Structure 1
Amino acid sequence: MAETMVKICGLQDVEVLKSMIHLPVDYIGFVFAPSRRKVSPAQAAELIAELGNWETGGIPQAAGVFVNPGLKELGELLSIAALDVIQLHGQESPEFCREVKLAFPEAKVWKALSVSDQAHAESGGGYAHMESYAGAVDALLLDTYDTHQSGGSGRTFAWETIPAYRQVAARHGLPLFIAGGLHPGNVGELLAGYAPDGVDVSSGVESGGIKDIAKMTAFVGRVKQS
């Protein structure tokens, strides 16, 4: 069984990033959508440069989080900050995702889907809608429904909906990441019960809105030891 991938999102500070270089993290996320965690392209470039100093495992890949960006915006940003992943967190259509893949072949495209409740999951906004993204994206991410759409809500969704999403994602060979309200105390339960391909955490490894190295270490340890 493949090792569960870990993405830690919302990094803003170089010193915090330097404190993490011993952790076996697969992806580091930078938020470019409206958020208290938002960084500028120049800030992201400085942070991405630090990833080459990683000490444990491979070098983490850089993921940028966007909400309904334009191709021009993405192009300008990627010319400054070399992202490995473009994570789309708004109402981006499958057609737009295909355009992004064609325009920026050097980057993977992930699409985040918001989950509010079982009824939503069974609607066009849920796993039935996932089918249309087959061939348009490289991975799918489930996150708690948030009116701001940039993630980081700090709330879990109904995990019992995950198997239906997993079935669709697996049918199309798409890795499935889970976000929303994860922290060191509950990620083990998620992994034991639902075995996602990857997990994405932000506020759950913070103290007072700042990334906490002890919480990040505990979170990564629980994922990688599962």
Structure 2
Amino acid sequence: MAETIVKICGLQDVEVLKSMVHLPLDYIGFVFAPSRRRVSAESAAQLMAELVNWKASEAPRAVGVFVNPDLAELGELLSTVPLDVIQLHGQESPEYCKKVKQAFPQVQVWKALTVADKDRDKAENIYTYFESYAGAVDALLLDTYDSGQSGGSGRTFAWDVLPAYQEIAARYGLPLFVAGGLDPGNVSDLLEGYAPDGVDVSSGVESDGSKDIVKMTAFVERVKQS
């Protein structure tokens, strides 16, 4: 079984990033969409400069989180911040995702899809939805639906819908990440029950709104030891 991929998202502080140098992370995320965790291009570039302190083979790759960006915005950002992944977290269509891939072939494109309680009884709709993104993105990320924001709700969704999503993702060779309300206390249950390709955490490893190295360490250890 492949090792579960870990992404810690919403990084803002250089000193916090320095404290993470010994964590076996796969991805770190910077939020460029409206959010209390939003960073500027200049701040993200400063944060990425700290990645040289990782051993080259162990440095996490950088993900930028966007909500309904236009191509010009993405191009300007990438000229300052050499991201490895563009994560689209809004209402971006498969057609738009393809445009992003074509415009910026040097990066991967991930699409976040939200899961609502009502989806538990509508698994048949998943197939059409997922199929539309096959060939348009490099990975899919499931997050909890929140009518007031695009992700970052800090709540889990009903994980029992995951097998249907995983079946479709596997059919098209798309890695499937799970986000939404994960923390050191529940991630082991997710891994033992559903073994997703990757997990994405933000608020679940924070204390008083800031990244907590103790919680991040516990989260990563529980994932990598599962």
TM-score bracket, shorter-length normalisation: over 0.9
Structure 1 partner of 2:92: 92
Q: CA deviation at 1:215?
A: 0.1
For residues 56-205 of structure 1, what are the structure 2 equivalents within 5 Å?
58-119=58-119, 122=122, 126-205=126-205
Q: Cα gap change, 1:92/1:120 in structure 2, threshold over 3 Å: closer, same or farther?
A: farther
Q: CA deviation at 1:118?
A: 4.2
Counterpart CA distance in 2 for 1:218 and 1:102 is 38
For residues 2-21 of structure 1, what are the structure 2 equivalents within 5 Å?
2-21=2-21
Q: What TM-score, normalized by structure 2, do the two folds share?
A: 0.96
Counterpart CA distance in 1 for 2:148 and 2:48 is 26
Q: Cα gap change, 1:120/1:190 in structure 2, threshold over 3 Å: closer, same or farther?
A: closer
Structure 2 partner of 1:207: 207
Counterpart CA distance in 1 for 2:189 and 2:118 is 20
What do the CA deviations read for 1:56-107 (whole angstroms, capped 9, x no partner)?
Answer: 9621000000000000000000001110000000000000000000000010
Structure 2 partner of 1:23: 23
Amino acid paired to 1:93: S
Counterpart CA distance in 1 for 2:122 and 2:110 is 21
Q: CA deviation at 1:49?
A: 1.1
Q: CA deviation at 1:149?
A: 3.9
Amino acid paired to 1:39: V
User: Structure 1 stretches of 5 or more lacking a match?
Assistant: none
Range 59-68 or range 143-152, more displaced: 143-152
- How many residues get paired? 226
What do the CA deviations read for 1:123-146 (whole angstroms, capped 9, x no partner)?
Answer: 797453011000000000000002
Q: CA deviation at 1:150?
A: 3.3
Amino acid paired to 2:180: G
